[in-house]
Amino acid sequence: MSDHRLLGIWVRRFLLEHVVAERNLSRNTQRSYRDTFALLLPFISTRKRKPIDRLCVADFSSDTLKHFLDHLERERKCSIRSRNQRLAAIHALAHFVAEHSPEDVAWCASIRAVPFKRFHRNELTYLEKPEMDALLAAPDCRTALGRRDHALLQFLYNSGARASEAASLQIEKLHMRPNTMSDVEICGKGRKTRRCPLWPATGAELLELARNRSPDAPVFLNHRGQAITRHGIHRLVRKYVSKATAACPSLAHKRISPHIIRHTTATHLLRAGVDINTIRAWLGHVSIDTTNIYAEVDLERKAQMLTHTNALSTPAAPKRSWKANPSLMAFLRSI
């Protein structure tokens, strides 16, 4: 068997040539693709009773793919969202193979014909303004650690940054201007950069954190003086949610993470009258469809509020006896 028929050769080429070299996808996306094939290849090997390094393209059929997806859901207890994410990586591999091997176009079509599974999208969670205020008030700003934590929470709320984006933020990406709006340059998914304006209060806190430090140093440090990790940011948010719950009990009924603060930023911007395209650029969304989720949620909220008020209801017309309306009776007799 020639090497180009081996499935492992195509997986290697796909990850190195396409994912890294051509697409330059983020490290997290690279790991996600890698993990998909780390699960898939042993599964095919077991079913075909062949060593992984000897598996060929023909060993991986659409039926095998369907069994693999069932395995993810039933045995590994993966969510439908995770199942679809794994399938997207496999679809991308099949497309790559077909582009470089015309004889495998039919195989690619059969793999890509396996559909994604529909699922009910969970209701979008975000914080109301009093809840966000309670979270921001939780750190003790009398201490250096508390000031760092408040600056981090304030930055997440101001920018709508992901935890990974905040963790990797460097001081040189802060553009502070004394007499005009300051901004920050954020490196997001796919290494795409965006500029986000900073409120004066946020800028002042970040400037204090960055004082007398190297421009290439991380803005947010952990207790060991190293760059805080995204996992550290998740722990920090959980810590202050627990503390803020005493002052704002409604927080206890929500699962809050840095990404929920991102949802909160988008929702509050929308309610403040910021247009949807500006919010898309603010958050770094590639597609406007992603940002439109927040508009749909806000419309649902407005509809719910409308049902509890009569402010826009039309006054009822005075009742009239239908029998006293001869034109109506003439109309009925004409039918």
Looking at the annotation, which residues are catalytic? 162, 189, 259, 262, 285, 294
Supply the DSSP symbol for 14: I
Which among 168, 173, 178, 160 is positioned nearest to 266, based on CA atoms? 160
How far is 72 from 80, CA to CA, in rounded Å?
Answer: 9
For residue 281 the two structure tokens come to 């650029």
Which among 130, 189, 124, 127 is positioned nearest to 156, based on CA atoms? 127
Environment class of residue 204 by beta-carbon count within 10 Å: exposed (0-12), middle (13-18) or buried (19+)?
Answer: middle
Place of tokens 């600056």: 151
Q: In what order do the strands lie in the sheet with 182-187?
A: 174-175, 182-187, 193-198
Angle between helices 230-244 and 144-159 (to 10 degrees): 100
Place of tokens 């340059």: 185
Dihedral sign, Cα of residue 260, residue 294, residue 205, residue 165: positive
